[in-house]
Amino acid sequence: MAWLSIALVKSMRLVSVDAIELETTGVRGDRRFYLVDEDGMLLNAKRMPRLLTVRAAVEDGRLVLRFADGTTVDGEVQLG
């Protein structure tokens, strides 16, 4: 048995998908987003293992983060 998964946000919980699009830069949508701290440093599961419990989704053009305790945070993605 095999399955396909991506991480919409780097170091967050994997999301199962039915299909992937492979581009020259990798799997489309995989690690599309990432988090940085107040100093501009990349946050990852090595520094914050609890990130692996957060489910990320894109709904109606908004990034939605669902935490293990049931809390949900969502908002528009800001580039730059």
The pLDDT of residue 42: 94
What are the tens digits of pLDDT across the range 34-43? Answer: 999 999 999 9
**28-64 exposure pattern, b = at least 16 Cβ within 10 A, e = fewer:** ebbebeebeeeeeeeeeeeeeeebeebbbeeeeeebe
The residues that bridge with 49 in the sheet, in sequence order, are none
The ranges assigned to domains in the chain are: 4-76
Structure tokens at 40: 């501009």
Characterise 3 by phi-psi region: left (phi > 0), alpha (psi -120 to 50), beta (else).
beta
The parts of the chain modelled with pLDDT lower than 50 are none
What token pair was written down for 9?
């946000």
